[in-house]
């Protein structure tokens, strides 16, 4: 896709398009009607040919445009892009040139014309943006290709609004429109036919509309807009030298730490790490219908357990690694009672998260002046606990969006691949371990007995090292627990038998893993050699955040 750019001043959108080359599009020429236009120097720096065609005194628009077309005739281009070109083009130009686009700094049809930002402020609207449209002889009235919104703040003036619309809206929408044309996805509808490829022969007929192939919604729509309100300005980010804030999605119906009430008024406010860890802890205990407790450190489980009572579940979770639990986050999936509160308050914790607290539990927890006590409200039942289907992660220049990992295999879903069959108790432990392992940073290995963790190896670049770490934690830090006779869960397949051999040395008797390695036969043979039971889930549960 070749572009002829027309600008009367700085041409910042043209410069941006030249720099990002959307869809591989490139500017073949930049033309201006002002001898001193700054866009000329910017184009020269980018080695883009330039032309100056000033309108002579008394010259008609038609004559001036014919000279422009004559000058452009030496260049190959498929699309004309205007950027602050301060002349209204005639039908003669538009009929002779390929499809011509312009970007206007408002959400048309609202606020057309010269002073769009002033119009926006005078009208008192709270959202503005930009519009990329096909140019017609009518000012700011051509069919819309795409738009991009931005908020209007109470302290905005015309300059601040102009800057935000340029950088947050125009720099997004204009390249998007160009990319769509470059990909051949835009059909410009005209009287008497269509112009779908901007082939440079000159369109015929008045423009009546625009359609974009694939501009659809669904789970992963072509375009998405996120509107969130700042809920809090945090003391700092992950580290004290980083500023941070919390934004809330008011449409979220799932129990979350973002909307949780803090019930210990004497404690400090939640920080960035507190929210991050508390979110991880709450998501883990939501996995279980039985009373469950989890202790989280740096978004990883230091321990997790289910039991008949909440206090016993917390005790079993804590004894996995009480040393690492110091300064950690506790999450509970039942109303916190006095017994559980007393156990939680027995050592230093940063945050406790639960769907409610008894009065006696609050009396205990409030004695800890720096303990943040969060009430997230009812968790719901079963799948209702997870009403938010997607999760996302910002990356520089964009955002990754994916479905949350809702997999919850049953015994019937497991494929037993070894000569030894797992016992019913081992099968129950496998399922508990798998649910917990989903919340361990990859490469992740988890040892468990019954429905409690024994040792966790997380965040290793080698899977066998994760096994070694889990075994070391079980032996060194677990209180009253042992890897002897435990079940091992792995979040991805074992590429070699070495991890199974390492686990056997630690005393592991059963394994749950995805399977799917080219060396599965060797791994299964190693399990058989050590008289282990092994089950495949058929799917992995990586967690990289």
The catalytic residue positions are 104
**Cα dihedral 157/159/164/170 (nearest 10):** 130
- Angle, helices 498-506 vs 520-529, to 10°: value is 20
Count of C-beta atoms within a 10 Å radius of residue 138: 9
Instruction: State how far the Cα of 153 lies from the Cα of 406, in Å rounded to an integer.
Output: 39
Task: Output phi, psi for 295, to 5 deg.
Answer: -115, 125
Query: Which of 72, 70, 64 lies closest to 90, judged by CA?
Result: 64
- 3-state SS string for 280-319: HHHHHHCCCCCCEEEEEECCEEEEEEECCCHHHHHHHHHC
Query: Which of 161, 5, 113 lies closest to 68, judged by CA?
Result: 5
Task: Output phi, psi for 522, to 5 deg.
Answer: -70, -40
Query: Which of 122, 89, 87, 86 lies closest to 106, judged by CA?
Result: 122
CA atoms within 13 A on the CB side of 36: 0
| Whether the Cβ atoms of residue 512 and residue 537 lie closer than 8 Å to each other | yes
Query: Which of 421, 409, 405, 412 lies closest to 513, judged by CA?
Result: 409
Instruction: State how far the Cα of 79 lies from the Cα of 133, in Å rounded to an integer.
Output: 13
The single residue listed with the structure tokens 């410069």 is 15
| Whether the Cβ atoms of residue 378 and residue 368 lie closer than 8 Å to each other | no
Query: Which of 542, 532, 526 lies closest to 507, judged by CA?
Result: 532
| Whether the Cβ atoms of residue 97 and residue 69 lie closer than 8 Å to each other | yes
Going by C-beta distance under 8 Å and a sequence separation of 6 or more, which residues neighbour residue 96?
Answer: 69, 202
Alpha helices of 304-413 — where are they, by DSSP H?
310-318, 322-325, 338-344, 359-365
Instruction: State how far the Cα of 487 lies from the Cα of 200, in Å rounded to an integer.
Output: 68
């Amino acid at each position: 896709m070749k572009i002829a750019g027309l600008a009367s001043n700085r041409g910042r959108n043209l410069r941006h398009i030249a720099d990002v080359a959307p869809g591989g599009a490139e500017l073949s020429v930049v033309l201006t009607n002002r001898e001193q236009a700054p866009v000329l120097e910017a184009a020269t720096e980018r080695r883009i040919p330039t032309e100056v065609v000033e309108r002579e005194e008394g010259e008609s628009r038609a004559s001036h445009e014919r000279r422009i077309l004559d000058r452009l005739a030496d260049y190959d281009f498929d699309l004309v892009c205007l950027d602050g070109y301060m002349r209204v083009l005639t039908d003669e130009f538009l009929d002779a040139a390929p499809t011509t686009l312009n970007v206007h700094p408002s959400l048309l049809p609202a606020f057309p014309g010269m002073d769009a930002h002033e119009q926006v402020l005078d009208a008192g609207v709270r959202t503005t943006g930009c519009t990329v449209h096909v140019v017609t002889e009518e000012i700011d009235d051509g069919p819309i290709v795409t738009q991009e919104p931005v908020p209007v703040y109470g302290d905005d003036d015309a300059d601040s609004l102009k800057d935000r619309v340029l950088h947050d809206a125009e720099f997004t929408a204009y390249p998007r429109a160009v990319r769509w044309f470059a990909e051949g996805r835009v059909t410009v509808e005209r009287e008497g036919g269509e112009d779908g490829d901007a082939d440079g022969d000159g369109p015929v007929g008045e423009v009546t509309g625009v359609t974009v192939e694939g501009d659809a919604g669904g789970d992963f729509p072509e375009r998405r807009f996120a509107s969130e309100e700042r809920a809090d300005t945090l003391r700092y980010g992950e580290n004290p030298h980083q500023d941070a804030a919390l934004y809330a999605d008011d449409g979220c119906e799932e129990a979350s730490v973002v909307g949780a009430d803090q019930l210990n008024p004497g404690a400090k406010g939640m920080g960035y790490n507190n929210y991050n860890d508390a979110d991880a802890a709450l998501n883990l205990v939501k996995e279980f219908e039985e009373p469950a407790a989890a202790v989280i450190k740096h978004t990883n489980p230091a321990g997790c357990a289910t039991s008949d009572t909440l206090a016993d579940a917390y005790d079993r979770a804590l004894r996995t690694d009480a040393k690492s639990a110091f300064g950690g986050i506790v999450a509970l999936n039942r109303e916190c009672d006095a017994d559980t509160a007393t156990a939680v308050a027995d050592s230093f914790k940063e945050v406790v998260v639960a769907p409610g607290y008894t009065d006696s539990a609050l009396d205990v927890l409030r004695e800890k002046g720096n303990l943040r006590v969060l009430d997230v409200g009812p968790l719901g039942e079963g799948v209702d606990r997870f009403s938010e289907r997607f999760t996302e992660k910002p990356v520089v220049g964009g955002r990754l969006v994916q479905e949350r990992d809702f997999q919850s295999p049953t015994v019937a879903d497991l494929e037993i691949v070894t000569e030894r069959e797992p016992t019913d108790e081992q099968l129950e432990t496998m399922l508990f371990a798998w649910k917990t392992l989903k919340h361990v940073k990859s490469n992740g290995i988890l040892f468990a007995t019954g429905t409690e963790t024994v040792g966790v190896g997380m965040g290793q670049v080698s899977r066998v090292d994760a096994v070694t770490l889990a075994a070391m934690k079980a032996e060194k830090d677990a209180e009253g627990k042992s890897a002897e006779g435990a079940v091992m869960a792995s979040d991805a397949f074992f590429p070699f038998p070495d991890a199974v051999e390492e686990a056997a040395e630690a005393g592991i008797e059963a394994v749950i893993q995805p399977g799917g390695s080219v060396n599965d036969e060797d791994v299964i043979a190693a399990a058989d050699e050590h008289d282990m039971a092994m089950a495949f889930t058929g799917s992995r549960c990586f967690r990289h955040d």
